[in-house]
Amino acid sequence: MKLSRLGEFGLIASIQRRTPKGRGVKIGIGDDAASVANCRAASLVTADLLLEGRHFDLRWMPFEDLGYKALAVNLSDIAAMGGIADYAILSLGIPPRLDSREIDAFYRGFQGLADECAVALIGGDTNAADQLIVSVCVIGHAAARPVRRSGARPGDDIYVTGTLGDSALGLKFLKRRARSERPRLHPRALIRRHRRPTPRLAAGALLAQNGLATAMIDVSDGLVQDLGHICQASGVGATIEADRLPLSAAYRALCAKDGIAPALSGGEDYELLFCARRKDRGRVEKLPGRAGVAVTRIGVCTAAHRKVAILDASGKALKIRAPGHDHFRR
């Protein structure tokens, strides 16, 4: 049904019908505000805004994947603090031309990940807009002391979970396909990483609970840029060995002339980038078995204040053309 027929309250009622109540929820969708149990004295709170045309393009982003991703990017921020996610608030600006089935698909993707991660959707807001606007807020709690960006010290090892650059390469192929330049190889794995990034909640919580990460951030804007944030906040530098960067098989097969650029600065990986003391190396390297994701040591923190250096196999520093994504820079 066209949303212009279903109307705001019809839509909210259908969202309410399809949303399970969730653990800790005393009052969910349907009143003026939600009421929830707080597990701890302190909450972790994060929000992300996704705008059509700027963060996603409906020509190559299916609604169901968009719903999944809108929640995933917020959960990734909770993971980067080493936290546990509890509740989500989802606000939408919706063009009335959309069909209610498209919004249904969006909620299916959102709720699918919410179920997987035991997060309860407890409310939101709905309005009409010229372009689709998705705003998500997630509330969680810290399982241990939250891991900040500022705790890295010179000599700490630098690690990243999963693989880098898949999302950026996947997006490149999607754009190419939209221009009907059919790529010969079908990079399904890369496209999936772009549409459905996995929030590394288990890895983040394990690192925090075991006191292993001295500093942590999720890679949303590109490795070089996000590592720069850790260096800035911690007052350290960093040296990364380019040939240690974890690249997926699909990436290696399809990166061609892009080389390692998408892995260094492509963005939207939503992997965890963290630092740990040299003496904890053995314990960190045991982590993948419990967290369900690979962890790769890619470099070391230095005393070269705020300077990020990427070294090639011969130890020569590579020139980085663009460190990563910045919404206000072109």
Q: What does the binding site for ligand ADP look like in residue numbers (CB under 6 A)?
A: 12, 15, 29-32, 90-92, 123-126
CB of 69 to ligand ADP, least distance (A): 16
Q: How far apart are CA 11 and CA 15, in angstroms?
A: 6
Beta bridge partners of 302: 237
Q: Considering beta carbons, is residue 29 or 158 the nearer one to Mg ion?
A: 29
Select from 111, 99, 134 the least CA-distant residue to 6.
99
N residues, the chain = 330
The residue with its CB nearest to ligand ADP is: 123
DSSP label at residue 316: P
Kindly state the smallest distance separating residue 77's Cβ from ligand ADP, in Å.
Answer: 20
CB nearer ligand ADP, residue 35 or residue 38: 35
CA torsion, ordered 237, 243, 248, 254, to nearest 10 deg: 110
123 touches, from ligand ADP, Mg ion, none (C-beta below 5 to 8 Å by class): ligand ADP
Which stretch, 35-43, 54-62, 122-130, 261-269, contacts Mg ion (CB under 5 A)?
122-130
Q: Give the number of other Cβ atoms within 10 Å of residue 14's Cβ.
A: 16
User: Cα–Cα distance between 158 and 223 in angstroms, integer?
Assistant: 11
Q: Which is nearer to ligand ADP, 88 or 245 (CB)?
A: 88
Tell me the closest approach of the beta carbon of residue 268 to ligand ADP, in angstroms: 24
* Stretch touching Mg ion by CB under 5 A, among 27-35, 114-122, 123-131, 227-235: 123-131
Select from ligand ADP, Mg ion, none the partner in contact with residue 90, using the beta carbon and a kind-dependent cut-off of 5 to 8 Å: ligand ADP
Nearest residue to Mg ion on Cβ basis? 125
Which is nearest to 173 in space by CA: 160, 161, 184? 184
Whose tokens are 């409310």? That residue is 123
Q: Quick one: DSSP state of residue 57? A: -
208 backbone dihedrals φ, ψ, rounded to 5° = -70, -45
Name the residue nearer to ligand ADP (CB basis): 98 or 320: 98
The answer to whether residues 127 and 232 touch, using CB atoms and an 8 Å cutoff, is no
Q: What's the min distance (Å) between Cβ of 127 and ligand ADP? A: 8
16 or 38, CB closer to ligand ADP?
Answer: 16
Residue 103 or 261 having the CB closest to Mg ion: 103
Partner interacting with residue 43 (select from ligand ADP, Mg ion, none; CB below 5-8 Å by kind): none
Task: Among 8, 115, 125, 130, indicate the residue that binds Mg ion (CB under 5 A).
Answer: 125
Where in the chain does DSSP place strands (E)? 25-27, 35-36, 43-51, 83-94, 120-128, 133-142, 157-161, 213-218, 237-241, 272-276, 295-302, 308-311
**Which residues, 189 to 248, sit near Mg ion by CB under 5 A?**
none
Q: Which residues bind Mg ion (CB under 5 A)?
A: 125
